[in-house]
């Protein structure tokens, strides 16, 4: 059995590295003259690529250039993470400015028409509701960032295709079993080529927050499962311990074994969350649960929380250790924090998502009011 090849370059100019790995990986096998190609980055939230959270725009630009050089038409498309608006994320990261500069079509997959796609070998969903843009393209290039993930261990090319799900449907995939849903989505939207951004990776409380790990490298492969197995090894985990990769392999989406061509970064153990508690497990899905309740039933737990003496939700609190650095203010998705020492919280806007607590660089400077978190964790 021929092993898929992970083509890697590091330490060079990003556009050159991108072109070299795409050519070496076999981009000409999946992109032909006259094709329309969906370039699917990871723009999960408004955090620049130097944080390790989002795809480097230089990588995206390099892919667009390669696709055009082959006589094909690139289209950039994404649906960011809940509760962020994709249009706002495009603007904050400069994606819309890049698209204008490159004269390339940019598609907000939250507002684009979507349809149900059948899943050949269902893990949890018989059909998945994805952007109908998939019907209009000839091939898909997944452009993930190498990151740890507190639910799926790592996130890469396979999970990146979750961004083809409109925001109104993301609650369904998360509540159906995220590892299984990832594989069902990838069966309906398997990327033809994956270009892995390792210019800056992410460890810690991924995929939205954590600590950047600069590796100054790029990789590519035709097999999305293999390149995700490579991410697992890179970050110090075994692919067999990553549930969605095992399921993806069993569903016929790719192989867990691979060969490497080029100078790969040295693997090391990436940290995940500092600790896992019952409340943290809830917190990982808290914004999605709130979004679902408001969208489907008009139930706003923030209003109920005021009448319950703050028992239900965990509002941020700051101690005397706070330095007023402003990292939490910059990270807040809804501008609920005002910079200060300590910051001030607008409880009418706060989502209680926990991002502020997780981006805080000072141990013990940020935490939560006593609520269900205190009752659960003791």
pLDDT at 273 over 50: yes
Averaged pLDDT of the chain: 86
Assigned fold of 278-377: Alpha-Beta Plaits (3.30.70)
- The single residue listed with the structure tokens 């392999």 is 249
The pLDDT of 90-98, averaged and rounded, is 94
User: What pLDDT was estimated at residue 168?
Assistant: 77
pLDDT at 97 over 90: yes
Cβ burial of 319 (10 Å; 0-12, 13-18, 19+) is exposed
For 119, what's the count of Cα atoms within 13 Å in the CB-facing half-sphere? Answer: 21
Model-level pTM?
0.78
What is the CATH code for 5-262?
3.40.50.11440
User: What pLDDT was estimated at residue 330?
Assistant: 82
The pLDDT of 282-301, averaged and rounded, is 59
Residues of the chain with CATH 3.30.70.20: 278-377
pLDDT at 300 over 90: no
**Which of 304-308, 319-323, 349-353 shows the lowest mean pLDDT across its residues?**
304-308
- 126-135 per-position pLDDT tens digit: 999 999 999 9
Percent of the chain exceeding pLDDT 70 equals 81
Residues of the chain with CATH 3.40.50.11440: 5-262
User: What pLDDT was estimated at residue 375?
Assistant: 41
């Amino acid at each position: 059995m021929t092993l898929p090849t992970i083509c890697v370059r590091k330490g060079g100019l990003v556009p050159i590295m991108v072109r070299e790995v795409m050519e070496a990986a076999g981009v000409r096998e999946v992109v032909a003259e006259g094709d329309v190609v969906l370039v699917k980055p990871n723009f999960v939230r408004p955090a620049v690529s130097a944080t390790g959270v989002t795809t480097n725009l230089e990588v995206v630009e390099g892919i667009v250039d390669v696709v055009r050089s082959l006589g094909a038409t690139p289209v950039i498309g994404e649906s960011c993470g809940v509760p962020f608006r994709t249009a706002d994320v495009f603007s904050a990261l400069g994606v819309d400015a890049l698209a204008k500069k490159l004269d390339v079509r940019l598609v907000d997959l939250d507002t684009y028409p979507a349809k149900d796609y059948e899943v050949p070998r269902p893990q949890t969903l018989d059909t998945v509701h994805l952007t109908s843009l998939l019907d209009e393209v000839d091939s898909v290039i997944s452009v993930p960032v190498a990151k740890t993930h507190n639910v799926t261990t790592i996130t890469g090319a396979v999970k990146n295709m979750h961004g083809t799900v409109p925001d109104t449907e993301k609650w369904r995939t998360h509540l159906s079993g995220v590892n299984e849903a990832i594989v069902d989505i990838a069966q309906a939207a398997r990327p033809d080529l994956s270009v892995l951004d390792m210019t800056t990776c992410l460890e810690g409380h991924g995929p939205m927050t954590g600590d950047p790990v600069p590796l100054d490298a790029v990789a590519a492969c035709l097999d999305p499962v293999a390149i995700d197995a490579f991410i697992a090894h890179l970050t110090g985990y075994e692919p067999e311990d990553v549930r969605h990769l095992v399921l993806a392999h069993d569903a016929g989406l790719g192989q867990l074994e691979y060969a490497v061509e080029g100078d790969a970064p040295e693997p090391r153990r990436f940290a995940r969350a500092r600790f896992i508690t019952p409340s943290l497990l809830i917190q990982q899905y808290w914004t999605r649960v709130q979004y679902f309740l408001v969208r489907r039933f008009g139930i706003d737990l923030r209003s109920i929380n005021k009448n319950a003496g703050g028992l239900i939700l965990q509002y941020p609190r700051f101690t005397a250790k706070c330095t007023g650095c402003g990292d939490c203010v910059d990270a807040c998705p809804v501008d609920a924090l005002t910079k200060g020492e300590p910051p001030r919280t607008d409880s009418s806007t706060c989502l209680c998502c926990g991002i502020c607590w997780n981006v805080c660089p000072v141990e013990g400077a940020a935490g939560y009011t006593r609520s269900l978190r205190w009752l659960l964790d003791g």
